[in-house]
């Protein structure tokens, strides 16, 4: 009779997996928020007995040299890379470098970009639209061995045991799609695999880190990547017990007392006020004061929420107002009016909450007039945000702007048209595997626009973005934030455990980049 293999023997037989966070040099500072999704996948792998290495290339200038040196000594046979759309060109370069030195290694791509591309293909097939997402998918198949769309926590286990080249976990009918209860039962992100001290985010001068209390946003904003993805659209919430446990763990383990809730919209959760009260009670239990920061939805914001958030430790909230133009708000299906947005500002300020207003230019129907409406709204005496950010919109796969655009063969651009009024948005074709300049500039004059409207050229949008930011910051007395240069990886740092790649000689402290 054969004896049952021990847990230790089973672990020996399982492959080692190297999870990788690619760099994000398009950001003002890369060492602000830890990429939690890939660390949650790493935690699931460890729980299931896999050996795990983690390489965090955020802020590493010569990241290809770093990954090459690690791949040469790594025990991993699988390398899993997460990537947003702006990170994709760097993920492709990393995959090529791994294959160059480890040709038999299997490269897995997961994360938002592949999820958005897959969602776009499904939407375009449903609508019978000859879209461009299929071309994007084929480009990804050329670069990666296995593609994982949607929730990666259970899908990664399937990827390691099967022969599938594509795994779709972005389907509520799939057993790989996480329910709220399954999300609640996941192990905490494996933050011990990165050097948390090398991240430098402050809230009100206090060292902070991020966590995720819920997934998904149900609103239909047309510009938003993920509106056609179940993973990014369906709300799944963790219990208050689970969130309180993570906050307590972060305080006890790392001494952290400030937290950025990186959820899409905190007040989508109907139990948010109760959660805020539990967070206040935790502080009383521990004898500490937290400082918190997070996103809320303007038209859902109430005095009760604001009061509970302030008591829990919130001093800043972030709100995606997007525009001060009623026409643009309707075109993007924001579901919030300019009056809703003004009322949100008034409620926040009445409860001593500071607001960072998130604004975007370049929507269908955008004109010099609509941009002035937004500028004037920001300067209105009832608004006057404490900080703000202006971005030029990008048409991501998985967003209606992208998925429902039709190719204009004469202009050779993709055109999204608002059915209600005929307002149009023209989109230049972007090779996402090679181009990240469409995302966001680091400084004034560093932006690019890959969209335009009947009223504004790409150059006009960039010039107006810069002009409005300068003027509003000057009028409201809000300083510009500083950018941070990437560091170089040193050979001597890469020969030990993977986290050694992360060490910085001098970490610059950044307050409230987001």
Under the banding of pLDDT at 50, 70 and 90, the label for residue 467 is very high
Under the banding of pLDDT at 50, 70 and 90, the label for residue 438 is low
Spatial CA neighbour of 110 closest among 39, 59, 58: 39
Q: Quick check: 426 and 453 in contact, CB under 8 A? A: yes
By three-state DSSP, how is residue 87 classified? coil
Under the banding of pLDDT at 50, 70 and 90, the label for residue 194 is very high
Q: Quick check: 481 and 444 in contact, CB under 8 A? A: no
One domain for residues 74 and 210: no
Q: Is the pLDDT of residue 6 over 80?
A: no
- Which structural domain range is residue 258 located in? 200-396+398-431+445-476
One domain for residues 363 and 303: yes
DSSP type of residue 420: T
- Separation between Cα atoms, residue 215 and residue 20, nearest integer Å: 22
pLDDT in tens, 76-109: 999 999 999 999 999 999 999 999 999 999 999 9
One domain for residues 179 and 245: no
Single pTM value for the model: 0.88
The pLDDT assigned to 447 comes to 74
| CA distance readout (Å), 44 to 75, 176, 212, 261, 271 | 19, 13, 16, 22, 27
One domain for residues 117 and 219: no
The pLDDT assigned to 380 comes to 97
Domain boundary among 143, 164, 187: 187
Instruction: Select, from the ranges 99-108, 386-395, 481-490, the one with the highest average predicted confidence (pLDDT).
Output: 99-108
Comparing 279-293, 374-388, 436-450, the range with the smallest average pLDDT is 436-450
- Separation between Cα atoms, residue 391 and residue 374, nearest integer Å: 13
Q: Is residue 309 part of a domain?
A: yes
Q: Is residue 171 part of a domain?
A: yes
Q: How many domains does the chain have?
A: 2
Under the banding of pLDDT at 50, 70 and 90, the label for residue 437 is low
One domain for residues 227 and 175: no
The pLDDT assigned to 439 comes to 52
One domain for residues 366 and 225: yes
What is the overall mean pLDDT for the chain? 89
Residues 6+ apart with CB under 8 A from 185: none
Residues 6+ apart with CB under 8 A from 120: 131, 133, 136, 228, 397, 398, 402, 403
One domain for residues 105 and 212: no
pLDDT top residue among 258 and 502: 258
The CATH number of whichever domain residue 306 belongs to comes to 3.80.30.20
One domain for residues 37 and 108: yes
Q: Quick check: 23 and 502 in contact, CB under 8 A? A: no
The pLDDT assigned to 444 comes to 45
Q: Is residue 499 part of a domain?
A: no
pLDDT in tens, 405-425: 999 999 899 999 999 999 999
């Amino acid at each position: 009779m054969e004896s049952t293999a021990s847990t230790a023997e089973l672990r020996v037989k399982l492959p080692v997996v190297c999870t990788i966070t690619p760099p994000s040099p398009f950001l003002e500072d890369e060492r602000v928020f830890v990429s939690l999704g890939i660390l949650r996948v790493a935690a699931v792998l460890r729980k299931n007995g896999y050996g795990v290495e983690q390489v965090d290339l955020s802020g590493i200038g010569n990241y290809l040299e770093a990954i090459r040196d690690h791949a040469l000594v790594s025990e991993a046979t699988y390398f899993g890379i997460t990537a947003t759309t702006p990170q994709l060109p760097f993920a492709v370069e990393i995959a090529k470098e791994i294959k160059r030195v480890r040709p038999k290694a299997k490269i897995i791509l997961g994360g938002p970009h592949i999820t958005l591309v897959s969602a776009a293909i499904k939407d375009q097939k449903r609508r019978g639209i000859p879209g461009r997402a299929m071309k994007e998918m084929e480009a990804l198949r050329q670069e990666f061995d296995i593609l994982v769309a949607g929730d990666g926590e259970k899908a990664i286990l399937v990827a390691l045991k099967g022969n599938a080249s594509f795994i779709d976990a972005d389907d509520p009918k799939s057993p790989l799609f996480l329910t709220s209860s399954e999300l609640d039962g996941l192990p905490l992100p494996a933050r011990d695999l990165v050097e948390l001290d090398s991240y430098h985010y402050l809230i009100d001068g206090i060292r902070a880190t991020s966590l995720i209390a819920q997934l998904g946003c149900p609103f239909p904003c047309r510009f938003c990547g993920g509106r056609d993805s179940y993973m990014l659209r369906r709300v799944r919430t963790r219990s208050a017990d689970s969130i309180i446990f993570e906050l307590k763990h972060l305080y006890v383990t790392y001494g952290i007392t400030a937290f950025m809730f990186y959820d899409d919209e905190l007040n989508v959760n109907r139990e948010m006020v109760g959660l805020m009260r539990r967070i206040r009670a935790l502080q009383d239990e521990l004898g500490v004061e937290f400082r918190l920061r997070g996103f809320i939805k303007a038209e859902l914001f109430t005095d009760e929420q604001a009061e509970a958030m302030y008591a829990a430790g919130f001093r800043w909230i972030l709100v995606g107002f997007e525009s001060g133009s009623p026409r643009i708000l309707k075109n993007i299906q924001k579901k919030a009016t300019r009056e809703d947005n003004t009322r949100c500002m008034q409620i926040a300020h009445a409860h001593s909450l500071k607001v960072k207003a998130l604004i975007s230019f370049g929507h269908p129907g955008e004109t010099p007039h609509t941009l002035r409406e937004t500028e004037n709204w920001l300067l209105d005496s009832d608004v006057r945000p404490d900080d703000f950010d202006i971005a030029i919109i990008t048409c991501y796969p998985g967003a209606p702007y992208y998925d429902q655009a039709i190719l204009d063969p004469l202009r050779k651009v993709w055109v999204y048209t608002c059915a209600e009024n005929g307002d149009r948005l023209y989109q230049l074709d972007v090779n996402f595997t090679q181009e990240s300049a469409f995302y966001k500039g680091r400084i004034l004059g560093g932006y690019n626009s890959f969209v335009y409207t009947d009223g504004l050229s790409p150059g006009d949008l960039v010039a107006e973005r810069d002009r409005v930011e300068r003027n509003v910051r000057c009028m409201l007395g809000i300083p510009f934030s500083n950018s941070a240069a990437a560091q170089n990886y040193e050979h001597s740092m890469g020969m030990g455990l993977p986290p050694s790649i992360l060490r910085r000689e001098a970490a610059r402290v950044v307050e409230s980049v987001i």
